[in-house]
Amino acid sequence: MVIDVLGFGILIPLIPYMAVRFGASPSLNTAVLGTYSLCQLLAAPLWGRLSDRFGRRPILLSSMSGAFVSYLILAFAHTLATLFIARALAGFMAGNLSAAMAYASDVSTPRDRARTMGMVGASIGIGFMLGPAIGGALAGNQLAAANFLRPALLSASLSVVAMMLVLFMLPESHGPEQRSRQASVPREHGWQLLRTLPGLRLLALATLLVTYSQSTLESIFAIWAMDRYHVGPLTVGMTLFVLAIVAVGTQGGLVRRLAPRYGEQRLALAGILCYVAGLAIVAVGGALGLVIVGLMFCGLGSGLFSPSGAALASHQAGSHNRGAVMGVYQSGTSTARVIAPFVAGPVYMQLGPGAPYLLACAVTLQALWCVLGASRLARREQGARAAGEGGGAP
């Protein structure tokens, strides 16, 4: 996952600059990012169900091969339409995150699931941490002279390396015995899971609301930095590096120590508040140093919420539908990444540079009630089961 997401992260700060070079307005620029997320939203539940049926490794290999092709298209893109095609293909083939989360859930116990999810989140975070800095360094800091071919070809090469690792080194966590044992269990589609698992519904909404802020920052930050500070890909990449390194440190170390003591619910709530505070600082801060402080708070919030929210969602699943449940949960993330870019661009143009960030703060605060509601439902179900077991005892 480190290598796979590194290839994705390399291009994160570059795509807005590519779109600007092709003549895109802020609204059209953010729509490029929204196209990726729209296709990912449509495909994520499908990939989750396929990983339950065929195993985690085939889905990881398929998604990485799709990323490889999309990076090659991106490397030789010379029009805005080609850029849209490359991002649409990458989004549709993005089954790696839900498969990786299902894999982590397969090999962990409920007690240590938050720590395991934190390790996966840290792996993903390392890719996002190093990727923007590498992509910015390869592209340069001048828009007119920026080189987008080298970063895209490096991303394609990294996808090949990741496929080789999965093919030759990663054992299957959901093998034929588990699949055959679960073949008789009725399968539920995503909308059925949302209807039958109200806790999952609230958690998917919570991750949607939190990811709305994250996607707003990702989609508008390069444009905002270009307009406000007149900086290029290298500066944007290094600034995002600060956010990512805090998120990785939190997921890889802090969450593993705090989860057993405070529980996933409290960490998720703290993550929401930290991210909102950080985004508000970015919105109103003038000096670049203050903006970096805000991004550090965002990194802390993301590092606390992501593994905790995923662990809470995984508790909603049984062994037979873990991939489907994580795919549905991931759909909340994908939905936010569809909505936020299409909203952030017009709001930026109509209401000013800070408006998308402040709107995101208001939206994400509502995730607090979703996490609290899901935890209340979980306690109620546990009480009902305990009462049922007590009533049935002789």
Q: What pLDDT does 182 receive?
A: 52
> What separation in angstroms does the CA of 378 have from each of 199, 258, 391?
7, 21, 20
Backbone dihedral region for residue 68 (phi beyond 0: left; psi -120 to 50: alpha; all else: beta)? alpha
The answer, yes or no, to whether residue 184 has pLDDT greater than 70, is no
pTM of the model: 0.74
The number of beta carbons lying within 10 Å of the beta carbon of residue 88 is 18
The answer, yes or no, to whether residue 257 has pLDDT greater than 80, is yes
The answer, yes or no, to whether residue 218 has pLDDT greater than 50, is yes
Backbone dihedral region for residue 140 (phi beyond 0: left; psi -120 to 50: alpha; all else: beta)? left
> What separation in angstroms does the CA of 228 have from each of 232, 288, 351?
11, 10, 15
Extract the tokens encoding 135.
Answer: 């992509």
Name the residue with higher pLDDT: 69 or 57: 69
Name the residue with higher pLDDT: 77 or 322: 77
Q: What pLDDT does 85 receive?
A: 94
Extract the tokens encoding 213.
Answer: 């802020």
Mean pLDDT of the chain: 83
Kindly list the domain boundaries of the chain, sorted by start residue.
2-167+190-392
The answer, yes or no, to whether residue 392 has pLDDT greater than 60, is no
Check if the beta carbon of residue 71 is closer than 8 Å to that of residue 51.
Answer: no
Q: What pLDDT does 385 receive?
A: 59
Q: What pLDDT does 377 receive?
A: 85
Q: What pLDDT does 84 receive?
A: 93
Check if the beta carbon of residue 342 is closer than 8 Å to that of residue 30.
Answer: yes
Q: What pLDDT does 189 receive?
A: 55
Mean pLDDT of all residues in 249-253: 79
Q: What pLDDT does 194 receive?
A: 67
- Per DSSP, the residues of 90-110 read HHHT--HHHHHHHHHHHTS-G
Q: How much of the chain is helix, strand and coil, in % rounded to 5? A: 85, 0, 15
Extract the tokens encoding 185.
Answer: 């269990």
Q: What pLDDT does 394 receive?
A: 47
The Cα 370–Cα 352 span in angstroms is: 30
Mean pLDDT of all residues in 243-265: 83
Mean pLDDT of all residues in 343-348: 92
Percentage of the chain surpassing pLDDT 70? 88
Check if the beta carbon of residue 372 is closer than 8 Å to that of residue 268.
Answer: no
Name the nearest CA neighbour of 22 among 179, 176, 175, 148. Answer: 148
Extract the tokens encoding 355.
Answer: 């408006």
Q: How confident is the model at residue 40 (pLDDT cuts 50, 70, 90)?
A: confident
Q: What is the 8-class DSSP label of residue 250?
A: I
CA dihedral 37, 41, 45, 51 (to 10 degrees): -20
The Cα 391–Cα 368 span in angstroms is: 35
Give, in degrees to the nearest 5, the angle at Cα 367 between 366 and 369. Answer: 75
- The fold of 2-167+190-392 is Growth Hormone; Chain: A; (1.20.1250)
Name the residue with higher pLDDT: 28 or 194: 28
Backbone dihedral region for residue 232 (phi beyond 0: left; psi -120 to 50: alpha; all else: beta)? beta
